[in-house]
Amino acid sequence: MTTLTKNQKLINWVNEWATICQPDSVHWCDGSEEENDRLFDIMVKAGACVKLNDKKRPNSYAFNSDPSDVARVENRTFICSEKEEDAGPTNNWADPAEMKKTLLEKYKGCMKGRTMYIIPFSMGPLGSNIAKIGIEITDSAYVVTNMRIMTRMGKAVLDVLGDGDFIPCMHSVGAPLAAGQKDVAWPCAPIEQKYITHFPETKEIWSFGSGYGGNALLGKKCLALRIASVAAKEEGWLAEHMLILGITNPQGVKKYVAAAFPSACGKTNLAMLIPTIPGWKVETIGDDIAWMKFGKDGQLYAINPEAGFFGVAPYTSEHTNPNAMHSCDKDTIYTNVGLTPDGDIWWDEIGWDCPDGTIGWKGEKYTKGSDVQVAHPNARFTAKAENCPCIDPKWEDPAGVPISAILFGGRRPSTVPLVYQARDWNHGTFMGSIIGSEVTAAAIGLAAGVRRDPFAMLPFCGYNMGDYFGHWIKIGETATDKNKLPKIFNVNWFRKDESGRWLWPGFGDNSRVLAWVFDRCNGTADAVESPIGLLPKEDAINIEGLKMSANDMKELLKVDKKLWEAEVALIEEHFARFGNKLPKALANELATLKAKLA
Ligand code: GTP
Ligand code: SPV
Ligand code: MN
C-alpha cells in the first residue's frame, strides 16, 4: 500500500483502521512542499479555505470553522484509564473498553467519501532521544497542513522510526459523505458526538467529531501533554503547559525561564516579548509546551516539542506582540479571523480599523457600525517557529536549555501580587497547585469567574492531579543538587483597580518583572519576606519611563491579609477534592501559609 515504510506494525495498524473507516483512498504524507501545495489547492477548490493575497501574506490561507467547533471541548475530553481513580477528580473518566466500543461504532464508515491521511510526526527535534514519534490518522486535510507547521512531519520521520514504536493517534471529523453528497466547508460532528479520548495505559489517542486545534492536532495537547505527562511520571521527568524563553541582561549573561499560564493567559506574548527596559533581550524557545529532564550535571533542561505556534489571534498586534505578528507574515494558516476585501485578515485590536466589506468568520459582511463579530475570540494563527524573528538559536537543540526559573500565573483581578517568589521547591509546587484564573475563550462551555487551574494543567493532565502534585514534590526530592533546581515565582499581569483599570501595562513591560526574576537567580536582587512568599523590595522593580503612580506599584505588590484569608478558604476547598492523594508536603505548605497569615 505504501513505499514510505516497511514498519509492519504501522502498516497493519493503518490497514485495520482503513477497514473500519472505509475511506475512498489512503494517502501517506511525505511532508513535501508539493504535497502541501496540492492539499491547499484541493481545499481552495472545495471552498474549505481562501488563499490570501500573495503580495500581503505569501503562502497563507484562511479557514472558518463550524460555529459548534471553535475551541477545545473539555466536557467531551476523557481520560480512559483502567481505574477511575487514576483519572482523578479533575478529569472526565470513562472505562477504556466501553469507550472503545462506543467509538468503534462511530468510526465505522466514518471516512466514506473522504481520504484517509497518514501523518508521521515527531514531537521534539527529529532523532533526538528526548523526542517522541506519533502517527496521526485523519480525514482532514486541514489537520495535515496544520500538523506540517506544528510538528516535524513526513517521510523523514518514518526513516527515523524504522521498525520502531510510535504513539498511535486516531482522528476523524466524524462526517462521512454519502455517494454524491456535497461536502461542507468545515465538516465535524455535533458537540455531544465529539470525543477526545486518551488511553494512558496503552498510550493511545482516539479523537472523533472535531477538527479544531487541540481536539484535532493530536501531537499538541493530547500527546505532548496528556499522554506525555503519564510517561513523564513513569520515567521521572516533566511534561508541562509552559513557554520557554531565553533572557539576556545588559552584561550579556543569558538565562532560560519556563512559565505556566492557563490557556489564553499570555504564554505566547511573554515568550516573544520585546523588553521595554534598555539592554535586555528575550528570545523564544517555545510558546506552549515544555518537556523537562535532569541532565547529568543535575540541572533541569527543557525542550520545546513543537515546531510552530497555534496562537491566539485577537489582540495580537504590532504594539502588543510584533514578533508574533511577523511570525505570521507568510506560510501561515488563519482560523476564524475576518477576511478583508483585499485578501488580508483582520481581528480585534490588530492595529488598524476593520475595512468595510470584511467577511466575518460566520460569513457575515461587516460595515462600519454593524455588530458583526469579525473574528472569533479564540481565532488562531498557525505559524512556523522558524519564521519567528526572535527564535532562539538553541530552539532545536536536542539537549534542551538549562532552566533557571519557573513562573506560574493566571488572570487574577485582585489578591495576587504582580510577582512573588517561593521560598523553596515545595513552596513553589504549592504555588503551582493553587493557580487560579478567570475563564477565557480557549475552551467551550465554561462558567465565567475564577477557577483553579493547577499548573495550568487542569485540562491537560493525563492522570490523577493529586498524583501529579506528588510527582512535582518527588522531582524536588530526587534532584541530586537542590541548589541547581529552578527558582519558582508567581506572576500576575492582570491586576485591576476598583474601576476595572489594568494596574500593570503588561506585554513588553513584563520585562521589568523578568529582570527582577533574573536578578534573583543571579543573586543580585533583594527580596522581603511576606506571609505568601518573597516580594520585591520597594523600588526593586524598574518602573522608569512608565506612567505609573507610586500608589499603583504599592497596590500591585500588596498582600492583603483579608483577601488572602478568603483565598485560603478557597484553597482548602480546592485541596479537599484530592482526598488522600494530596501530598502531605502541600498540606504542610497550606498550614504554613495559614500560620503566617494569623
Ligand atoms: P494558549 O495558546 O491558549 O495556551 O494561550 P497563551 O497562554 O499563549 O496566551 P496568549 O499569549 O495568546 O494571550 C492571550 C490573550 O491575553 C491575548 O488576547 C493577549 O493580548 C492577552 N495578554 C497577553 N499578555 C498580556 C499582558 O501582559 N497583559 C494583558 N492585559 N493582556 C495580556
Ligand atoms: C490551549 O487551549 O491551551 C491552546 C490551544 O494552546 S489548543 O491547541 O486548542 O489546545
Ligand atoms: Mn496552550
| DSSP sequence for 15-69 | HHHHHHH--SEEEE----HHHHHHHHHHHHHHTSEEE--TTTSTT-EEE---TT-
> Closest ligand 2 atom to the C-alpha of 72?
9
493 lines ligand 1 (CB under 6 A): yes
Confidence category of residue 112, pLDDT binned at 50, 70, 90: very high
Ligand lying closest to the C-alpha of residue 146: 2
pTM of the model: 0.98
Confidence category of residue 550, pLDDT binned at 50, 70, 90: confident
460 lines ligand 1 (CB under 6 A): no
435 has pLDDT over 80: yes
Residue whose Cα lies nearest atom 3 of ligand 2: it is 263
The whole-number average pLDDT for the span 530-558 is: 94
Per residue in 442-472, pLDDT (tens digit) is 888 887 778 999 999 999 999 999 999 999 9
310 lines ligand 2 (CB under 6 A): yes
For the chain, the distance separating the N- and C-terminal CA atoms, rounded to the nearest angstrom, is: 71
Tell how far the Cα of 443 is from the centroid of ligand 2, in angstroms. Answer: 8
Per residue in 366-378, pLDDT (tens digit) is 999 999 999 999 9
Rounded to a whole number of angstroms, the CA Rg of the chain reads 24
CA 524, chain centre distance (Å): 32
Residue whose Cα lies nearest atom 15 of ligand 1: it is 264
402 lines ligand 1 (CB under 6 A): no
The preferred substitution site among 269, 321, 511 for testing ligand 1, maximizing ligand atoms within 8 Å of CB, is 269
240 lines ligand 2 (CB under 6 A): no
Inter-CA distances, 295 with 194, 230, 405, Å: 40, 20, 16
Ligand lying closest to the C-alpha of residue 459: 2
304: cell is: 520545546
Provide the mean pLDDT of the chain: 97
As a whole number of angstroms, the distance between CA 57 and CA 306 comes to: 23
Tell how far the Cα of 510 is from the centroid of ligand 1, in angstroms. Answer: 12
442 lines ligand 1 (CB under 6 A): yes
The whole-number average pLDDT for the span 113-125 is: 98
Percent of the chain clearing pLDDT 70 (strictly above): 100
439 has pLDDT over 90: no
As a whole number of angstroms, the distance between CA 207 and CA 195 comes to: 6
Tell how far the Cα of 241 is from the centroid of ligand 3, in angstroms. Answer: 6
203 lines ligand 2 (CB under 6 A): no
The preferred substitution site among 274, 288, 312, 497 for testing ligand 1, maximizing ligand atoms within 8 Å of CB, is 312
474 has pLDDT over 70: yes
Ligand lying closest to the C-alpha of residue 211: 2
Per residue in 380-400, pLDDT (tens digit) is 999 999 999 999 999 999 999
The preferred substitution site among 215, 268, 348, 408 for testing ligand 1, maximizing ligand atoms within 8 Å of CB, is 268
181: cell is: 453528497
Contact assessment for residue 144 and residue 117, using Cβ atoms and an 8 Å cutoff: yes
Other beta carbons within 10 angstroms of residue 501's beta carbon come to: 9
Other beta carbons within 10 angstroms of residue 201's beta carbon come to: 12
Ligand lying closest to the C-alpha of residue 503: 1
Q: SS in 3 state form for 377-391?
A: CCCEEEEEHHHCCCE
Contact assessment for residue 122 and residue 300, using Cβ atoms and an 8 Å cutoff: no
216 lines ligand 2 (CB under 6 A): no
Residue whose Cα lies nearest atom 10 of ligand 2: it is 214
Ligand lying closest to the C-alpha of residue 243: 1
Per residue in 348-365, pLDDT (tens digit) is 999 999 999 999 999 999
186 has pLDDT over 90: yes
- Which phi and psi angles does 146 have, rounded to 5°? -70, -45
263 lines ligand 2 (CB under 6 A): yes
220 lines ligand 2 (CB under 6 A): yes
476 has pLDDT over 70: yes
Residue whose Cα lies nearest atom 20 of ligand 1: it is 315
Per residue in 253-282, pLDDT (tens digit) is 999 999 999 999 999 999 999 999 999 999
Tell how far the Cα of 463 is from the centroid of ligand 1, in angstroms. Answer: 27
Tell how far the Cα of 76 is from the centroid of ligand 3, in angstroms. Answer: 17
Residue whose Cα lies nearest atom 8 of ligand 2: it is 214
> Closest ligand 1 atom to the C-alpha of 271?
11
Residue whose Cα lies nearest atom 1 of ligand 2: it is 263
Give 446's contacts (C-beta < 8 A, 6+ positions apart).
Answer: 74, 439
213 lines ligand 2 (CB under 6 A): yes
Tell how far the Cα of 378 is from the centroid of ligand 1, in angstroms. Answer: 11
Percent of the chain clearing pLDDT 90 (strictly above): 95
Give 265's contacts (C-beta < 8 A, 6+ positions apart).
Answer: 409, 410, 411, 437, 440, 456, 494
Q: Give me the active site residues, please.
A: 265
As a whole number of angstroms, the distance between CA 464 and CA 581 comes to: 8
- At residue 1, the pLDDT reads 53
What's 159's DSSP letter?
H
β-strands 61-63, 333-335: how paired?
parallel
332 lines ligand 1 (CB under 6 A): no
- Which phi and psi angles does 18 have, rounded to 5°? -65, -40
